[in-house]
A and B are shown apart, each in its own frame.
Chain A
């Protein structure tokens, strides 16, 4: 089986990829790459140029932010079927805002963000589907972040600590 065939097979296990047309799937497969990762392997660092987004097939990818004086803080982990690096599709700061590290051995799909944008420009139907999916990802990520923000497990002292 070629790499592309294997890639297509893995993507087709994921619900969203089952809902798009074969033509659209082919287009995405064209600009994607299947990649094995090892535990502790760094996918990207804070400040790196944003060049692709990743879909997790197996394993766990952690997002960390380095805070001076506090060290590395792990703010999120992406599990199978989750997406990281989505902001590279509609870039604002053109830099990764967090670092991504594989926590365990795994398998990911990297999709070239620039080429994905171009594909969306050329085919607005694909563009709409991709943007809609991105909006969903952002919405759920926002909800998670808000729940982390309100610190729901904090004791009263922790809540009011400055």
Chain B
């Protein structure tokens, strides 16, 4: 009912789908840039959206190791599609960022950095696995001993409208990692799409205000049951598993196992997996100088442990062969990450499987390693 009353934090409501556009309008009025999934160039990207119609209604994906296809099935749902190569990482932790610019005069170097306005993003359609990945990156970039000021500024301003997954892809294994398909917390607004309505759970005061003048109803029994039913259905659809009971020991106790060489033979060290992974956080500082030597810029760019230069020091490279770089990535993601940050680094989104041109599937490799170790 349209009225002046706003829903309480923690409450669950339903809205008619077109009403979502009012929420988007509120966000834009408040200075937010809504980002959501869009179809572009036969792929699925996260870009600015203006209204509901920009979402990939009718689209679905087929994903397998090394395989991604967008298919148009003609269904009517907006948030049915699962993710493509993009993740929300690129907005909170941009792939290229100017840190500062210095100019030289007779007295030395002085700072001429243009202070850029921190963008205020509204992430529309964040999956449970993606939200878990954001929380993992929060632990990395905002710690007691060190906080990345750029990440913090963007994260503090970001609005999160999450989505309960109802149609996972074949490469998904969030259930094994305990990260989905159900969104538990950490959102402003959590959305589940039913055929006729959106079911929304209010997570914050900001979310309440987004419902200003938006017609809504308290979610009734049938809607809540329907949501539960859809989540259970999604859970059952996930066939891919990763047994984490013996991680990280399985990897860390078997770093010398010759099986790593086997994977190394297939891996191309192309760094796709680290780019699409929503938790990978390695970066490099790049210094450039103008030709006249009067201006220099320091930038932060994404880096990858697969890059040959990553472990290069004057005196040599500590990981010159591909197998040791693959081992570094996996033994970090499913191994040492736990000691560093308290959880494993993988959220089970399956991107690294879909986007690996060599079709390397880490869930399969862990099983193979386990078998090799037992032999």
Chain A positions within 8 Å of B, measured between CB atoms, are 155-156
How far apart sit A156 and B314, CA to CA, in the bound complex (Å)? 7
Q: Mark B283-326, 1 if CB is under 8 A from A, else 0.
A: 00000000000000000000000000000001110000000000
Residues of B within 8 A of A156 (CB): 314-316
A157 CB, min distance to chain B CBs, angstroms:
10
Residues of B within 8 A of A155 (CB): 315
Least CB separation from A154: chain B residue: B315
How far apart sit A155 and B314, CA to CA, in the bound complex (Å)? 8
How far apart sit A156 and B315, CA to CA, in the bound complex (Å)? 5
4 interchain pairs, CB-CB under 8 A:
A155-B315, A156-B314, A156-B315, A156-B316
Least CB separation from B314: chain A residue: A156
Q: Mark B312-351, 1 if CB is under 8 A from A, else 0.
A: 0011100000000000000000000000000000000000
Least CB separation from B315: chain A residue: A156
How far apart sit A28 and B366, CA to CA, in the bound complex (Å)? 63
How far apart sit A156 and B316, CA to CA, in the bound complex (Å)? 7
Residues of A within 8 A of B316 (CB): 156
B196 CB, min distance to chain A CBs, angstroms:
68
A137 CB, min distance to chain B CBs, angstroms:
32
B12 CB, min distance to chain A CBs, angstroms:
64
B315 CB, min distance to chain A CBs, angstroms:
6
A27 CB, min distance to chain B CBs, angstroms:
48
How far apart sit A155 and B315, CA to CA, in the bound complex (Å)? 7
A52 CB, min distance to chain B CBs, angstroms:
44
Q: What are the 4 A-B residue pairs with the smallest beta carbon separation, nearest first?
A: A156-B315, A156-B314, A156-B316, A155-B315
Q: Mark B18-44, 1 if CB is under 8 A from A, else 0.
A: 000000000000000000000000000
B123 CB, min distance to chain A CBs, angstroms:
46
B308 CB, min distance to chain A CBs, angstroms:
16
How far apart sit A156 and B313, CA to CA, in the bound complex (Å)? 10
Least CB separation from A155: chain B residue: B315
B312 CB, min distance to chain A CBs, angstroms:
11
How far apart sit A155 and B313, CA to CA, in the bound complex (Å)? 12
B302 CB, min distance to chain A CBs, angstroms:
28
How far apart sit A97 and B152, CA to CA, in the bound complex (Å)? 69
A31 CB, min distance to chain B CBs, angstroms:
50
A67 CB, min distance to chain B CBs, angstroms:
28
B229 CB, min distance to chain A CBs, angstroms:
64
Residues of A within 8 A of B315 (CB): 155-156
Least CB separation from B313: chain A residue: A156
How far apart sit A45 and B314, CA to CA, in the bound complex (Å)? 42
How far apart sit A122 and B315, CA to CA, in the bound complex (Å)? 55
B328 CB, min distance to chain A CBs, angstroms:
23
Least CB separation from A156: chain B residue: B315
How far apart sit A103 and B303, CA to CA, in the bound complex (Å)? 55
B313 CB, min distance to chain A CBs, angstroms:
10
A158 CB, min distance to chain B CBs, angstroms:
11
How far apart sit A36 and B250, CA to CA, in the bound complex (Å)? 62
